[in-house]
Structures are given as structure tokens and as C-alpha cells.
């Protein structure tokens, strides 16, 4: 049957997709059933040899076998447990003993997420390292800074990129932190008390999770706390939004009227216009970010389950978890592609900055008027604003306009020259870039 969901064939890497196929998820569910047998054997509730028996027989269960049995039983995990039991002879009678479906499902997803989050961590690190490298390369390349879409003050392109590197390093820290809360196993029985295993419950849990290399949630209901998946979804939404902001930056700076960056896409930009190079990958990042933000809402809704649990989260999470992981994976891949294809036009940056030279010098002149004791700050603000208006209207210099207003005298030729050269009005940009990049490197080092 043909695929319906674009995630099957269009978005997300094969590496990530391979963790989320039906076959891969089924294998993880079986991994947990085998590890549960280890826990039962350690607690002397099942023969020790059954662990090896299950390793030999359990993995023959196929998705189509599960579908066939589920059509009769109406329960996927019960069908998997039954199929393993039927394949494993005498040891089959101990399969899934005392466990509930959520023990197996939630623990299997902890295994999947452990691998998936490592993929995202590696991709995010690559994006951050690219930004660090670009920030260092363009630390002193002057351009106009924009607020509200209008020319504001000079900055450098490296300074701009250092901001993005720092923001994304915060998500890198979030990812490292949330992993310890989300990647945990659950082996606790029908309502979380381990009642079926008597006083051996903690031995069953220990043996099972040690086999899988997982730590347990200290306590649970029938399910692991759903705030973990909500935190994962919130992380993905925040990260996708940060990538969206970076993608939007690139798209804006690519506009023909601005032209400060271009992308080497290597593909046709338009189906009809040969001249166009469209920021396709950057636009895809922005589109996928909208989905990530929307999916986070569903994850929040899943926190509020009835009593020790209900089933409302189950169908939601079947869609939610693979989609969140694949969408985030694609957004990171596209961002890396954008950064590797970025080309900087320094001449365009100079040209655009020169368009607003008088405006860019305004704050500099205002500050110098105040520091030289000419007028208070609020008056200096009004006077410089008026001088700019006169200069534009009458075609005279700002220096001449200020003299007409009676406040130019305290300022020297050196003042006017210094304020007219954007590279002289970059403040502590170099130190700030270095401080930011040190912080970023520390974040990468810690995790």
C-alpha cells in the first residue's frame, strides 16, 4: 500500500526513521519482554534458562503476526505477549508475568528515545559548531542591525550569529537535562505497586532494567509520568522555534532589496522562473516548526490522565512521538544545510549600511552631547532627531543642522568623524562575541 504520511518518504533521516518503523518498535517491545524475564529469573519467579530461551524464540514475532492476532483480541501488547508465549514452549507461561502493557510500552519507548535523542543531540551540536565557526569568521564584518525591520545601529555579522549559537546552546542544555528525566524505565505492574510479584517486585525491576541499561522512575501509576513526554515536546517546540527564527533571518537577508546573504541550494528555485534561487530549506524549517509547536499542545493534554491512568494518551502518542522526532530531525538537517550553503555579501552589507549613515550616527551624537554637558539626554534626543529631519529636508549635513539649532559647538570635528564611521560604534561587540562563544563551548563540553 502506498504511504500516506510524508514522514514515511519525505521528512526525517533514514537514521531516525529506522528507529521508528513498526519492526524497530516491535523489536524494542520484545527487548523489554526478554529483559522482564531476566527480572523474573533474578527474583526466582521464573527459571533462569528462560532468559536465553526467549532470546532465541521471541524475536521471530512479526508485525503481521501481531496484526492478525490483534484483530481477534483487540489488544496489541497482549497479542505480542501471547505470540511470544506460543513460540517459547515451557518458558512461554512466564512471559509478561505480573507486568502491565504500559510497563513494556513505556520502557520500550525509553529505549527508542535514548537512541533518538542521541541523534538529535549530534545534529544540534553540528549546527551550533557551524554557527560558532561562522561567528568567528565574520566577527568584525560590519552590517546594519535592524529592530522592528528598520535600520537601528551597526553590528557585525559575527555578533548576529553568536546570538543564535548562544540560544541554541540553551536548547542543547535542555536536551541533555531532559534526557535524564525521560529516558527511564517502568516495571511496576497494574497500578504501580508491583503487587503481582509480592515482596520481589524491586528485584524484578532491578533485573529487568539493568539488562536494558535504564534507571527506573522512583514511583509511577500504571504509566510513567506524562510530563516527561510533554517536556520532550516542549523542547522540540522551543528548538524548532529557534531554528525558525534563524531560518527567517536568512530568508529576510536574502531578499533582493537586501541581498546580504545568498544560499547555494543546488536546485531549481522555481518551476517557471529560471532566475530564482528560493530559500527552500529555510522555508521548510519554518513550516515544520509550526507543526512542532502544535504537537506540543497534544503532549500537554496527555498529562491529565484519570486516576492511575486512562487510555486517552495512547492513540495520541502513537502519532505524537514519531512525528516530533522526525520533524525535529528534519529541521536540524535543513538548518545545517542552510548554514553550509550560506554565502555572505560584504559589499551589500556596506551598501545597505551607507543608506542610513546619518540615522546610524544619531545615538552616537546624542550621547556625546550629553557627556560633554551640552544638554540633558531627553533634550539631546529631540535635538538630534530634529537635526536629522533638517538634514534630510534641506540637503545639509547633520553637523550643519546641529549648529543651526545652536548645539553643534560642543562637538568637535573628531566627534562628527567618529560618529560617522560605523566601525567606531560597535561597543563591546568583540568581547561579547567571545564571551558568548565561551559559554557555548562550555555547554557543549558539559554534555
Cα dihedral 29/31/36/37 (nearest 10): 120
What is the DSSP secondary-structure string of 234-285? Answer: HHHHHHHHHHHHHHHHHHHHHSTTT-SEEE---S-S-SS-TT----HHHHHH
Cα 121 from Cα 119, distance rounded (Å): 5
Summarize pLDDT for 218-266 with one digit per residue, the tens. 999 999 999 999 999 999 999 999 999 999 999 999 999 999 999 986 5
Cα 132 from Cα 163, distance rounded (Å): 10
According to DSSP, the residues that pair with 387 across neighbouring strands are none
Summarize pLDDT for 139-185 with one digit per residue, the tens. 999 999 999 999 999 999 999 999 999 999 999 999 999 999 999 99
Strands (E), 296-345: 342-344
Cα 385 from Cα 153, distance rounded (Å): 15
Summarize pLDDT for 73-108 with one digit per residue, the tens. 999 999 999 999 999 999 999 999 999 999 999 999
- Residue 391 grid coordinates: 538634514
Q: Which helix (H) or strand (E) holds 127?
A: helix 101-137
Summarize pLDDT for 279-308 with one digit per residue, the tens. 999 999 999 999 999 999 999 999 999 999
Q: How many percent of the chain have pLDDT more than 90?
A: 83
Give residues with Cβ within 8 angstroms of 8, minimum separation 6.
17
75 catalytic? Reply is: no
Domains of the chain: 99-350 (1.20.200.10), 362-424 (no CATH)
Summarize pLDDT for 404-422 with one digit per residue, the tens. 888 867 888 888 888 888 9
Residue that wins the pLDDT comparison between 404 and 343: 343
Cα 23 from Cα 286, distance rounded (Å): 31
Per-residue model confidence (pLDDT) at position 395? 86
- The mean of the pLDDT values for the chain is 94
Per-residue model confidence (pLDDT) at position 265? 66
Catalytic residue among 18, 137, 177, 270: 270
Per-residue model confidence (pLDDT) at position 420? 85
Catalytic residue among 3, 148, 180, 307: 148
Per-residue model confidence (pLDDT) at position 276? 72
Is 192's pLDDT higher than 60? yes
Per-residue model confidence (pLDDT) at position 373? 86
The backbone torsions φ and ψ at residue 421, rounded to the nearest 5 degrees and listed phi first, read -110, 105
Per-residue model confidence (pLDDT) at position 399? 85
Mean pLDDT value of segment 388-404: 88
Cα 193 from Cα 261, distance rounded (Å): 60
Is 123's pLDDT higher than 80? yes
Distance of CA 374 to the CA centre of its chain: 50
Cα 245 from Cα 234, distance rounded (Å): 16
Cα 33 from Cα 54, distance rounded (Å): 9
Is 269's pLDDT higher than 70? no
Secondary structure, 3-state, 72-122: HHCCHHHHHHHHHHHHCHHHHHHCCCCCCHHHHHHHHHHHHHHHHHHHHHH
Is 360's pLDDT higher than 90? no
Per-residue model confidence (pLDDT) at position 307? 96
Cα 55 from Cα 52, distance rounded (Å): 5
Q: How confident is the model at residue 267 (pLDDT cuts 50, 70, 90)?
A: low
User: What is the helix, strand, coil percentage profile of the chain, to 5?
Assistant: 70, 5, 25
pTM above 0.75, yes or no: yes
Q: How confident is the model at residue 7 (pLDDT cuts 50, 70, 90)?
A: confident
Residue 127 contacts residue 335 (beta carbons within 8 Å)? yes
Residue 103 contacts residue 205 (beta carbons within 8 Å)? no
Nearest to 183 by CA among 209, 149, 144: 209
Amino acid at each position: 500500500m502506498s504511504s500516506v504520511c510524508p514522514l514515511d518518504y519525505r521528512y526525517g533521516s533514514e537514521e531516525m526513521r529506522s528507529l521508528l518503523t513498526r519492526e524497530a518498535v516491535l523489536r524494542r517491545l520484545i527487548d523489554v519482554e526478554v529483559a522482564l524475564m531476566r527480572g523474573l529469573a533474578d527474583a526466582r519467579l521464573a527459571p533462569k534458562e528462560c532468559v536465553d530461551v526467549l532470546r532465541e524464540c521471541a524475536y521471530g514475532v512479526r508485525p503481521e503476526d501481531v496484526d492478525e492476532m490483534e484483530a481477534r483480541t483487540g489488544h496489541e501488547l497482549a497479542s505480542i505477549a501471547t505470540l511470544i508465549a506460543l513460540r517459547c514452549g515451557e518458558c512461554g507461561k512466564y512471559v509478561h508475568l505480573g507486568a502491565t502493557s504500559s510497563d513494556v510500552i513505556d520502557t520500550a519507548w525509553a529505549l527508542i528515545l535514548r537512541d533518538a535523542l542521541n541523534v538529535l543531540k549530534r545534529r544540534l551540536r553540528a549546527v551550533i559548531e557551524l554557527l560558532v565557526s561562522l561567528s568567528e569568521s565574520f566577527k568584525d564584518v560590519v552590517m546594519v542591525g535592524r529592530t522592528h525591520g528598520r535600520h537601528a545601529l551597526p553590528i557585525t555579522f559575527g555578533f548576529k550569529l553568536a546570538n543564535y549559537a548562544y540560544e541554541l546552546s540553551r536548547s542543547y542544555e535542555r536536551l541533555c537535562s531532559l534526557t535524564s528525566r525521560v529516558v527511564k524505565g517502568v516495571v511496576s505492574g497494574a497500578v504501580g505497586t508491583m503487587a503481582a510479584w509480592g515482596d520481589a517486585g524491586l528485584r524484578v525491576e532491578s533485573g529487568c532494567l539493568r539488562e536494558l541499561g535504564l534507571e527506573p522512575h522512583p514511583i509511577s501509576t500504571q504509566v510513567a509520568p506524562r510530563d516527561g513526554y510533554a517536556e520532550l515536546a516542549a523542547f522540540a517546540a522551543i528548538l524548532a522555534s529557534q531554528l525558525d527564527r534563524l531560518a527567517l533571518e536568512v530568508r529576510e537577508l536574502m531578499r533582493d532589496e537586501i541581498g546580504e546573504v545568498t544560499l547555494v541550494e543546488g536546485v531549481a528555485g522555481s518551476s517557471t522562473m529560471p532566475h530564482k534561487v528560493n530559500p527552500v530549506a529555510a522555508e521548510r524549517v519554518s513550516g515544520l516548526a509550526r507543526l512542532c509547536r502544535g504537537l506540543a499542545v497534544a503532549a500537554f493534554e496527555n498529562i491529565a490522565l484519570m486516576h492511575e491512568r486512562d487510555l486517552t494518551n495512547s492513540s495520541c502518542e502513537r502519532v505524537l512521538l514519531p512525528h516530533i522526532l522526525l520533524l525535529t530531525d528534519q529541521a536540524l538537517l535543513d538548518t545545517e544545510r542552510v548554514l553550509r550553503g550560506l554565502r555572505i555579501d560584504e559589499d551589500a552589507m556596506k551598501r545597505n549600511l551607507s543608506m542610513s549613515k546619518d540615522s546610524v550616527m544619531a545615538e552616537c551624537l546624542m550621547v556625546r552631547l550629553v557627556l560633554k554637558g551640552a544638554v540633558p539626554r531627553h533634550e539631546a534626543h529631540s535635538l538630534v532627531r530634529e537635526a536629522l529631519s533638517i538634514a534630510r529636508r534641506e540637503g545639509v549635513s547633520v553637523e550643519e543642522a546641529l549648529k543651526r539649532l545652536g548645539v553643534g559647538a560642543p562637538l568637535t570635528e573628531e566627534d562628527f568623524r567618529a560618529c560617522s564611521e560605523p566601525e567606531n560604534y560597535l561597543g563591546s561587540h568583540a568581547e561579547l562575541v567571545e564571551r558568548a562563544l565561551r559559554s557555548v563551548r562550555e555547554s557543549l563540553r558539559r554534555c
